[in-house]
Chain A
Amino acid sequence: MKIRAIELHNVRRFTDPVRIDNFGDGLNVLCEANEFGKSTIFDSLHAVFFTKSGSTAKDIKALRPHSGGAVSIGVEVETSGEVFTIRKRWFSKAETKVFQGATLIAQADAAEDWISRLLGQDGTGPAGLVWVRQGLTDLGTGAKDSLEARRDLMSSVSEEVELMTGGRRMDAALKRCEEDLAVLATAGGKARAGGPWKAAEDRVAELSERRNALQTSADQLAEALRDRTAARKRLASLNDPDEAEARKVKLAGAKTAFKAATEFAADLEGLQRKADLAKLTHQQAAEKCERVKAAVAEHEDAKRLVLDAVDKASSAEAKFEDALEADDAAKSAVDIAAAATTKAATDLRRAERAASAKESAARREEIEARIKAAEDARIKVETTAAAITGPDAKALQNVEDLARNVANTIAIRDASAPNIVAHYDGGTAFNIDGQDIENGKLIPISRNTRITVPGIGSLDIRPPESGNADQVAKAEAALRVALEALGAETIEETRARAALRQNAEVAHREAKASFNALAPSGIDAIRAQLAKLPEPEEADGAPDLEAATQALEAAQTTEKELRAKAETTRHQLGEATNERGVAQANLNNANDRLARALAALPEGGADQDALQAEAEKARRTWLTLDEECTAKAANAPDLEMAKASYTRLQSADEMIAKDIAALEGQILVLNERIKHASGDAVEEELAETAQELEVAETKLRHIVREVAVLQRLKAALTGARTEARDRYFTPVAKELRPLLNLLWPEAELEWSEDNLLPTSLKRETVAEDLSILSGGTQEQIALLVRLAFARMLSNAGRSAPVILDDALVFTDDDRIERMFDALHRQASDIQIIVLTCRQRAFRNLGGQMVTQSPAQFIA
């Protein structure tokens, strides 16, 4: 659909008919100053499409001029290549008409339906047009209710939204579902307090409790009835006259039997006492007879025992005496042997001391000899030490070295000196400084030398000065100094003295070794050993050590043997002593027993026969009475049984009387209880409560079922809405992206999960809530969103004119140019109508200018 012309008559300032036309397919602009009536045009379009002619709503009243009268608006639209004119009139003679050319094709409600179909929806909201009112940029971030805000945003595209997300119908269904669910359950799925579910639960609980209580009461009543029946039956049995009489007869019989048995038992007891007395008499006589007989026998035995004991005591005494004597002899022998042993030991100690003194004297002599030798050695050490004089080996070596040096320097000097060799043919020899020259010997001449030829004269040889004469002189001087230091004149003397010193040192070392061997710790240590030795003792008269040792061993052996013998005699003495004691004690005992036996004999003698006869008589009396007892007891009634039977019947009689009283009392109590319970009609109430409980449980099951159904439906609705929204916003976002990028490269909008409104603008990963953005940015986003919707509808074959009434009031010059680009971009296949008063700012918008002209309005 595209708008081709608008006619207004008696609409606010347009009291005269006016026509605005020249609307093209793309971008159309009506740019006029304020007060021209642009918003009136905008509102008029809105009224034509969305407000029925019968309406007197506030928005329609606002269209009337001050002078009043009917408001008339006409709009020419082109759809599917055909042009139609919609004319509407409000207030006086309200009407709606649709013409095709001059032909009226619909009027009144039919015309309204035609408009609805034109808008592509069923009249439940605007569609097919995208509106942006003056200054309407609120995207739901302000104070408006979010749903209402969504309506503002979606009002132009609600049909499409309806199609895709369910829109208002979805809202209505979900709201109904949530409302129905909320009546029953909380958000957490629990029974809501005060709601039917909770009431049903409470009702079931209450009835269950009441049913249980009533059941208990009913059970108690049933039990009471059973108890009473049983009690009555028992009472009837107890009160039965025949049974009572039978019990009475039984009791009397038992009593008689018990009495007879008691009397018989008394008679029997008297007879038994007599028998017992006779038995006792017999026993006493027999015992007396036995006692006398035993006393006589005992007296005889005691006498025999005394005699025997006397013999044994005498024998033991004799044996004791013998043993005592032997023991004394043995002890004396031991004493003598012990004295001999003591003496032998003393002799041995004397012999040992004598031997020790002898050994000590030899030791002293030896030590004294060592001391003397050590003294001699010490003197020799001192003497040899004093003999060590003369050059030592080192000094000798030094002189030897100096001497070799002199010889060397002389040899060097002589090597360069002239030599002479004497050759003799016998006769006189030549000499130099009085010393003969050997025949044939090469004699160097290094200095002025006079060779004397005895007899002939002398021959002076004056060799030239040699360069080595000074080294020789120096060497010889050094040698002389060394010799002088040693007190020698020649090297030979030095060697001799050195040899003497070496011998003296050897003698000294030998003397020291000898001394050390004799007294390694010194002479004083040896003297100390000597001092420790005991003083010599006089050993004259001491026995020989070996003889003394043998004498002691012999004495000890003798003593040991005698002591063993003495031990034997002592043991024998002990045994004899004990035997004597035992024999004496036995004798005493025998005397005592004899005395007692004598005392036990009856005075005046013991007539055993008389006693025997008396005992026999008593025995016969006893046996007679005992036989009588046995015979009577054999016929005795069972007293215990008679007593038990009587006691039992007596007790049972008393118990029955008590039972009767108790049962009567119990029945009275039960009567009251039954009367009370049956008066309450517990069974009746129980049945009623059980039925009510069944109904309540059924109702609760239904409610639980209802909750499950509603929860399932709610989940299905919300899940489907999410799915549809995703499906729906994909194309919107696709259309929106290039438009947003005209202003902000890579920018994206984020959308609310709840109300389908944009919530924030995301630029370079930073998301900003729309509410904090500038007014200009907000209105730009609002416009771009609508343009995206419009393109999406157009793509869906539902071309939707976009009508903007001063939609960019906060946008700056830079952004507005890019918004113009956005408008042109979308205008390629969408009709856009821009109403603005900003002539300068919109100068560069371009597009087709619409025109206004007076009109011949057909009302």
Chain B
Amino acid sequence: MSFRFIHSSDLHIGRKFANIPQDADGNIRGRLMEARHNAIEKLAAAARDNGAGHVLLAGDTFDTPTPSPSLVRQALAAMGDASDVTWWIIPGNHDNLRGAEPLWDMIASDGPANVRAVTEAAPIEVETNVYLLPCPVQYRASGTDPTEALVRMETPEGALRIGLAHGGITDFTESGEVIAVDRDRTARLDYLALGDWHGRIAVSPRVHYSGSPEQDRYKHGRRGLCLLVEAHAGAEPEVTEIETGHFLWQEVPMDLVSGQNPTEELERLLPASGRRNVLLRVRATGWAGLADHAELERAVIKAGPEFACFDLRAEALRARYDPTDLDEIDSSGGALRITAEALMTEAGDDTLSEDDRSIAAEALARLYSYVKEDAQ
């Protein structure tokens, strides 16, 4: 016996992305929000295209416990539009049952027939002899393994057991809410569909995090995806990744060495195409001269607007000063030279605080920019 379905989680519909910088005439936040809504359609398409009649969403479908009614209804309507797919949704920590009670009431009362809000930890026979064993998250923080109940859930002999839960497997906060990594064995599961982690992780052959279908952070370095799962009773499942993400969140390191052209190095790191749908963070490290700093800034100013979002983190890129830099500011030994040398000395003065040193370094870089711009 086998059962084919789509495993996804952490849609976080309604996330506003207010922390993403947006120009006055830009709309990246709206685009990102829209992409999360569109993930519903992409999941439905993935199911439809692969002959799966069910989509299991392992929590955090909504970003907050109290999303606006229009947001919820539009999401439910999008799921309802995929009438050939049945959606099985459990509460996650963001939309946990207690905190999001009105939400789950609304889904239960007003949701389309093919959307099944699962709010009780009890086996559900989704198809003949195929049982969904859900672990809805009751509270934002419960202090217990949310999958403990799976062990006690009884199903008929020979039935296919599919767990659906939300939570971490690493106890970062020592909260005690860690899912036991051998839960598939202790609960006799054929597959455990997990949510909470936004990146894709295969914990074991039968235990998987699908990750978010649409990424929302630079951490994972790839577009969001869902899992096409072919589960078998008493055998390991077949799991296939299907890319669903529209935006690519990417963080690239750029370690500069003395003499390296920052503009060229930056251009080398940038994707050649599709930049409009890429959120790129360049984390610059190493050393660069004053001219290189100024040039890098100019390059970012030039290339940045091509991207959905471009974030240059240059705090760790240290300024390298040499006589050439100072000569470009003032080679005569006049007041500008005095200024530059004073700031350079201050920037390298170990007796000063790191903050004071870096302020002096930035002031020197700024002086360099002023002088160069003035010369142009």
Q: B residues within 8 A CB of A725? A: 335
Is B342 touching A720 in the complex (CB atoms < 8 A)? yes
| Count of chain B residues near A, Cβ 8 A | 42
Is B66 touching A221 in the complex (CB atoms < 8 A)? yes
Q: Is B18 an interface residue (CB 8 A)?
A: yes
- The listed residue (A228, A705, A712) touching B360 by CB distance below 8 A is A712
CB distance from B344 to the nearest CB of A (A): 10
Q: Is A225 an interface residue (CB 8 A)?
A: yes
Q: B residues within 8 A CB of A689? A: 18
Q: A695-B18, A709-B359 are in contact. Are A173 and B367 (CB under 8 A)?
A: yes
A689 to B18: give the CA distance in the assembly, Å.
Answer: 7
Interface string of A699-714 (1 = CB under 8 A from B): 0000001001110110
| 9-residue interface stretch from A162-170, A481-489, A552-560 | A162-170
Is B363 touching A712 in the complex (CB atoms < 8 A)? yes
Q: A residues within 8 A CB of B15? A: 687
A690 to B101: give the CA distance in the assembly, Å.
Answer: 23
Is B334 touching A724 in the complex (CB atoms < 8 A)? yes
Q: Is B211 an interface residue (CB 8 A)?
A: no
Give chain A's interface residue range (CB within 8 Å of chain B).
Answer: 35 or more
A668-683, CB < 8 A from B: 674-675, 677-683
Is B71 touching A684 in the complex (CB atoms < 8 A)? yes
- The listed residue (A164, A225, A687, A708) touching B335 by CB distance below 8 A is A164
A221 to B332: give the CA distance in the assembly, Å.
Answer: 69
Q: A residues within 8 A CB of B364? A: 713
Interface string of B320-364 (1 = CB under 8 A from A): 000000000010111110110011000000000000000110111
A716 to B336: give the CA distance in the assembly, Å.
Answer: 9
- The listed residue (A167, A173, A678) touching B66 by CB distance below 8 A is A678
Select from chain A the residue with minimum beta-carbon distance to B342.
A716
Is B374 touching A678 in the complex (CB atoms < 8 A)? no
Which among B20, B71, B103, B363 has the highest number of chain A CB atoms within 10 Å? Answer: B363
- The listed residue (A173, A674, A691, A695) touching B336 by CB distance below 8 A is A173
A830 to B374: give the CA distance in the assembly, Å.
Answer: 34
Total contacts A to B, CB within 8 angstroms?
145
Which among B17, B66, B102, B373 has the highest number of chain A CB atoms within 10 Å? Answer: B66
Q: A residues within 8 A CB of B359? A: 705, 708-709, 712
A695 to B23: give the CA distance in the assembly, Å.
Answer: 13
CB distance from B300 to the nearest CB of A (A): 15
Is A684 touching B370 in the complex (CB atoms < 8 A)? no
CB distance from A174 to the nearest CB of B (A): 9
Q: Is A461 an interface residue (CB 8 A)?
A: no
Q: Is A148 an interface residue (CB 8 A)?
A: no
Which among A677, A683, A694 has the highest number of chain B CB atoms within 10 Å? Answer: A683
A695 to B17: give the CA distance in the assembly, Å.
Answer: 10
Q: A687-B16, A721-B335 are in contact. Are A173 and B374 (CB under 8 A)?
A: yes
Q: Is A829 an interface residue (CB 8 A)?
A: no
- The listed residue (A674, A675, A687, A717) touching B63 by CB distance below 8 A is A687
A349 to B156: give the CA distance in the assembly, Å.
Answer: 156
Is B98 touching A684 in the complex (CB atoms < 8 A)? no
Q: B residues within 8 A CB of A177? A: 366-367, 370
CB distance from B59 to the nearest CB of A (A): 16
CB distance from B340 to the nearest CB of A (A): 8
- The listed residue (A162, A170, A674) touching B102 by CB distance below 8 A is A674
Q: Is A172 an interface residue (CB 8 A)?
A: yes
Select from chain A the residue with minimum beta-carbon distance to B12.
A687
Q: A684-B64, A687-B64, A710-B366 are in contact. Are A166 and B336 (CB under 8 A)?
A: yes
CB distance from A713 to the nearest CB of B (A): 4
CB distance from A658 to the nearest CB of B (A): 26
B10-68, CB < 8 A from A: 14-21, 63-68
A85-143, CB < 8 A from B: none
A76 to B179: give the CA distance in the assembly, Å.
Answer: 94
Q: A689-B18, A691-B16 are in contact. Are A684 and B63 (CB under 8 A)?
A: yes
Is B98 touching A682 in the complex (CB atoms < 8 A)? no
CB distance from A725 to the nearest CB of B (A): 8
Q: A residues within 8 A CB of B371? A: 169, 173
Is A691 touching B66 in the complex (CB atoms < 8 A)? no
A602 to B65: give the CA distance in the assembly, Å.
Answer: 103
For the complex of A and B, 6 pairs with smallest distance between CB atoms: A691-B18, A683-B64, A724-B335, A688-B16, A166-B335, A681-B68
- Which residues of chain B have a CB within 8 Å of any CB of chain A? 14-21, 63-69, 71, 98-99, 101-103, 330, 332-336, 338-339, 342-343, 359-360, 362-364, 366-367, 370-371, 373-374
11 example contacts (A-B, Cβ-Cβ < 8 A) are as follows: A166-B330, A177-B370, A221-B66, A222-B65, A225-B99, A229-B98, A681-B66, A683-B66, A688-B16, A709-B366, A720-B339
Beyond known contacts A163-B334, A683-B64: 11 more, CB 8 A cutoff: A177-B366, A674-B102, A678-B102, A681-B67, A684-B14, A684-B63, A684-B71, A692-B18, A695-B19, A705-B362, A720-B335
